[in-house]
Amino acid sequence: MSVESIAETLLEKLKNIAQTETVVGEPIHSGESTIVPVSRISIGMGMGGHSGKGELASSGGALRIDPVAFLVLKGNDVKVLPVEKAQSALSKIADLTPDVVAFLLKNISKKAENSKEEAPK
């Protein structure tokens, strides 16, 4: 396989991965609010080849997706909340959606109570 062929295939695959939907994620609805995650995509790649007795070619690459912000829409109000490196995406969502946190805590408490009741004595 020639270097040109490898480059075309690799670039086509990267094009499929780095779509708009990857950068601007699916909206999450919570109560009256809608949260839209926004990510950064970093791509690195390399390739090389040699023509001679036998053709040699190889390639490699890496893809990294980092959450960078959340758009919070409530009515006509839109806020951009950046994700700080020290703060996880999950904790940022938890800060934005108290209803979801309350729901999760309630269900975790129920599961813990059910586990205690089912545990052998």
**Contact call for residues 77 and 47 (beta carbons, < 8 A):** no
pLDDT recorded at residue 55:
72
pTM across the whole model: 0.51
Q: Place 121 in a pLDDT band, splitting at 50, 70 and 90.
A: low
Phi, psi of 33 (to 5 degrees): -105, 155
Spell out the residues 6+ positions from residue 100 whose beta carbon is closer than 8 angstroms to its own.
30, 93, 94
Residue 101 has pLDDT above 70, yes or no: no
Q: How far apart are CA 55 and CA 33, in angstroms?
A: 57
Amino acid at 104: L
Which sequence spans correspond to the domains of the chain?
3-118
- Report pLDDT digits (tens) over 20-53: 677 888 888 888 889 999 988 887 777 777 777 7
Q: Integer distance in angstroms from the first to the last C-alpha of the chain?
A: 66
